[in-house]
Structure 1
């Protein structure tokens, strides 16, 4: 199977490409660095020639809300148009759990717009909504730090390892399109503050977590429903301790 991965040189794209190649698939890791730009349309036609599935993992280069919205609307529209021209039979898009439940998050409206373009685009599709990646916990901590104190929400959190995300994306890419959405998450759900405190302890970081109901997660308050699946979801195999141990061993 010929698979084109848009955003194929990023964290998830690299892992998906490795999985699919091990399974014997022909994989193109497309990105602006390789001459494929979904925002301008450059290189799309050639890249999609003969593609049997396109996996969209593209990300906005800016996190300013209007720029994010513009990127996902334009990038996804260009990609779907090129897929229709190339008669690509399956579009897989990676999205985020709860994007309609956190109105203060400036990034999420762009993902809502992306999903809308995919659903209306006329190409058979599968949308995968994922919870936050474990790999981003350090960034969440840094963004919530004031001096030596980390203000963390007690709201529900269910992070997933990038390896699990890649496995689920690869599975979807080699399956029939659902014309629907699946959700994926890590195997553990507990307060965000607990996860962040555990991460600090595991990394021997001296910062202290303070549980703060008013703490924001990229602009939004976190409750018991905003960032976790509310219905059936596929759960990854890596809990945080296993993920951290594997990560530490890989870095040694």
Structure 2
């Protein structure tokens, strides 16, 4: 028999037989403190999506820094993620880095989206060159689109480029998750009220279970934006927990 697929979801195939019933990973249930209720999740069917922890959003000399936004709040998830991600990897939970990574010609970016980041037409917007670094803003393989150096990306991690606020639009993210047999998504990264929120919303609309990790997420927006996002996630889309709650549950066994 030959295996077609991946370790989590596959068929066993021979010349005269196809076995579609191959067992997935054994369930690994943990119970987390969360809002509005405690939740029990199966780590064997869970992935974490880390959104936009990139130099243009989180580093000195990046895009936000260039346009005068205080980027330091966007760095708050770094240490919590560095504590959480190794523990999740040890439980075989896929780590997905979901990042802006535009085409150099910007042919997949509409004028409406370009306008969001360049309202006067003469600012440094998507694809523009930052004077301090010479990096093209959020262009795939540029310095600005790279994940910050302080976060460790392992070879087993998965990278997905996005081109909108939501990571599900015009990307392979949904196909990857379904082929991994994932039904629960942990969300982290920046900005909580923008790309993290819209990706979580789309995930729930597609039928995934959405869990926002409060301590592993941040925003450079005003506090009322963060509070509104947390309220809407708890009220309409899923649950709010924390990386600390996951670590506590893992230590408790």
Give the structure-2-normalised TM-score.
0.36
User: Which structure's relative contact order is higher, taking Cα pairs within 8 Å and 6+ residues apart?
Assistant: 2
Give the structure-1-normalised TM-score.
0.37
Structure with higher helix content: 1
